């Protein structure tokens, strides 16, 4: 699994097809764009959720990035994004051969969200839907995580 994790002061997701109806909103926390690959399984979802809730990217009283979502009582906005598996090495259009098929990806996305919900409040986008994502990136702080690149 691949995740783009952004520290935010707020974020929300709206459905394009429904005149911008808001389906998820958070205040201080992390915006997580999540891609699921063909090789991913339940262990990847659990590892990534645990990693994200414990990621120390929030400032302590000395201004050092030393606090996690758990420490600050933060929230997560999780949005699926298969394009994180876009391969742009050849041609001009990304290939998505390494992205999981939608049914498998949705199952693992839901498992990931469920794991996060054990620790913090989570808002979500709608799987396999065109969305507008608005964020107020704080810092900016952006971290890339990949469960297949552990070593």
What does each of the 151 residues of the chain score in pLDDT, given as a tens digit?
999 999 999 999 999 888 889 999 999 999 999 999 999 999 999 999 999 999 999 999 999 999 999 999 999 999 999 999 999 999 999 999 999 999 999 999 999 999 999 999 999 999 999 999 999 999 999 999 999 886 5
Residue 109 burial (CB count, 10 A)? 26
Three-point CA angle 124, 84, 114, nearest 5°: 30
Tokens, residue 14: 């709206």
Give the C-alpha separation, 134 to 150, whole Å. Answer: 30
Residue 25: the pLDDT is 98
Residue 49 burial (CB count, 10 A)? 27
Residue 20: the pLDDT is 84
Q: Residue 145: which of 44, 40, 50, 3 has the closest Cα? A: 3
What letter does residue 38 receive in the DSSP assignment?
A: T
What residues act catalytically? 81-83
Topology of domain 2-145, CATH: 3.50.80
Residue 18: the pLDDT is 82
Give the C-alpha separation, 99 to 118, whole Å. Answer: 26
Those residues whose C-beta lies under 8 Å from the C-beta of residue 56, and which sit 6 or more positions away, are 65, 66, 67, 68
Residue 67: the pLDDT is 98
Domain map (residue ranges) of the chain: 2-145
Token pair 């939608």: residue: 102
């Amino acid at each position: 699994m691949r995740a783009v994790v952004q520290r935010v002061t707020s974020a929300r997701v709206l459905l394009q097809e429904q005149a911008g109806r808001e389906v998820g909103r958070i205040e201080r926390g992390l915006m997580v764009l999540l891609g699921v690959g063909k090789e991913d399984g339940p262990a990847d979802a659990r590892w990534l959720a645990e990693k994200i809730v414990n990621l120390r990217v929030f400032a302590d009283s000395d201004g050092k990035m030393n606090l996690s979502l758990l420490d600050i009582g933060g929230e997560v906005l999780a949005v699926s994004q298969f394009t994180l598996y876009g391969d742009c090495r050849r041609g001009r259009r990304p290939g998505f051969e390494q992205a999981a098929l939608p049914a498998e990806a949705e199952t693992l996305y839901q498992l990931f969200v469920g794991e996060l919900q054990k620790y913090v409040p989570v808002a979500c986008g709608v799987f396999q839907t065109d969305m507008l994502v608005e964020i107020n990136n704080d810092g900016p702080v952006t971290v890339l995580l990949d469960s297949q690149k552990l070593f």
